[in-house]
Amino acid sequence: MIVNIVVFFAVAMSVLFLVAWGLSKELRARIEQPKFDFLARLQQLESVSNTRSGSEGNNNVL
């Protein structure tokens, strides 16, 4: 019984994700957007830091 429940939820969750992914182009873009936002945030942070500290700072970043 428990196995069936686990398998059902596993399949349902996978289908839900894949259908959502396949049906909506906007949703695809929306789901992927945070990784670009995060990278932009990091790059902006690094540039501010570099501006403040000069060329010697953050020598291992990016």
Partner 1 sequence: MQETVSSNRAAPFCSELVRAHSYAALATLIISAVFGIMVAALFVYPDLTAGSEVATWGRLRYAHTQGIMIGWLGNAFLAFLYYAVPVLTGRAVSNITLGWVIFGLWNFVAVIPGWVLVLSGVSQPLEWAEFPLIVDAVVICALLLSAVQFLPAFFRQGLDSLYVSSWYIIGGLVFTVLAYPTGNIVPDIAAGASSAAFGGLWIHNAVGLFVTPLALAIVYYVIPASTGRPIYSHFLSMLGFWGLFFFYPLNGTHHYIFSVIPMAAQLGAIAASAFLGLVVLIVVSNLTLSMRGAGLIAKDPALRFIAASVLFYFIVSMQGASQAQMSLNQFVHFSDWVVGHSHLAMLGFATFAAIGGIVHVWQRMPNSRYNPRAIEWSFWLLFIGISLMVIDLTVAGIVQAELWQQAGPWIESVRASKPYWMLRYLSAIPVTAGFVALIYGLLTGPRGTVMGDKMSLEKATPTQPQLSASAQSPALSMAYLVTGVAGIGFFAFSMVLLGLWPAKVLDRQITETSPEFILPLSPSEKRGQALYAREGCGYCHTQQIRYLDNDMRRFGAPTLAWETQFDSPHLWGTRRVGPDLSREGGVRSQDWHFAHLYDPRSVVPSSIMPSYRSMFAGSALAPKQEARDLVAYIGSLGRARAMAWPDNDKAALGSSALDKWGQMSLNASQLNTHPASQRPLTETNYSNDVNIGSPDLQLWLENCAGCHGELGAGDGTASQWLSPMPANLRAHEYSADYVLSVLVNGKEGTSMPAWRDHSPEDLASLVALVLGLSEPDLDGEADAAMIAQGQKTYVENCVQCHGVSGQGDGFAVDRLAVQATNFRQSRPSLEYAIKVLNEGVGGTPMAPWNDRLSAAEIEAVSHFVRGFFDPQGNAQ
Angstrom distances, CA of residue 40 to CA of 8, 23, 55: 39, 28, 20
Residue 23 near partner 1 by CB under 8 A = no
Q: What is the CB-side half-sphere exposure of residue 12 using CA atoms within 13 A?
A: 6
SS3 62: coil
Q: How many residues bind partner 1 (CB under 8 A)?
A: 45
Of the residues 7, 15, 19, 23, which one makes contact with partner 1 according to CB under 8 A? 7
Contact residues toward partner 1 (CB under 8 A) are 1-3, 5-7, 9-10, 13-14, 17, 21, 24, 26-45, 47-49, 52-53, 56-62
